[in-house]
Structure 1
């Protein structure tokens, strides 16, 4: 399961994100960028962060450590910003934290070259999860200690917003023409040969087991959190074997 920590202090909002994530101190003396369950995108954004972040990590891509951050709404009482106060008030319980990488820089393709191999692995992974939010305008990549790190997977797996059409949605191609790493001529074929065989039912079961039950409860059409976990795994398993053939725009 995700590491479990408790928020002890809200530091500041991170206004780069539309959902108003915040920098939070926790009882393990850590600092996390936290996405809140009370934000407009709701708990599905948090689920996507866990599924994609933990899957990426198991495939050898760099993602800051994630944690389940328990928040007491009382932390928001002293906030002068009414929007932040309301967000914290509605986010009591378990939220999603990503360890804050101090000193990390936003990725700039003109300043930080990426090899064809690494670009291929990231583009392939984004195609697998249908990440529509890794464009050159907003790469959602960090450069930290000489390495590229992946962040912000809330806009992935769009099929989980409409489960009845999930199978058809997950079968669609992926357009990488706007991807931040396309200029580096990503070697998608090599990435697929390396990574696709590793995306197994067992690996996906391990990944989806990380999702807190509280984010899966009461989903229409599912009688248990585990049934919903299986629904998250199924499109990714099917997509892994063929998605390299359906990536457009990398030529």
Structure 2
């Protein structure tokens, strides 16, 4: 019977080793999915935006939505065309930011730029944030600004921009923050938000949007949020949202923009 003891000891050592390996893998898996972790896959998660919000950045990529053959939203009732408004607001935002940041314009004329090309332009600038400018359309009863985001590192910037736009809105309301996986909120490797400055299909709001002075207020509001984000980072805007793993957005995805 004494000859069985070495075999039993080897078996127990093997089981203990397997349990230790399993526990190590489980701990590594948990740590790699938490915001701010530095686990084995943290560098890849960082590219997906699973990190703190930007601070100290010196470049803002300003994307005037639509353009060229893509008019965006068009309101026959109010006569407003989204691509024209987005370019105007983008230029005003550039002027507001000129003394504080390097500004990269995705388009500076009435030209078409593919969504994936817009992402590539943003990805060429490492220490930057992307602000994509749009205007909404829908039921004539709908009004107010809203700001889209997806990445964890884009949340506080979106929150600041939405807060400032709500303060400007003639509707005195807010459509709020919307977490949505779009090509311009999910795919860039830099913090990125998509701003809807208001509804061109709402008669009252369209009257404001048609006024250059009002669009200047919108530009100042966005610029102030960017300066605050660069200076304070996430600041005291509350806990960051949870990370959501999702593949890049592609053409044909629901509500792609």
TM-score, structure 2 length as denominator?
0.30
Bigger Rg, which one: 2
Relative contact order: is structure 1 or structure 2 higher (C-alpha 8 Å, sep ≥ 6)? 2
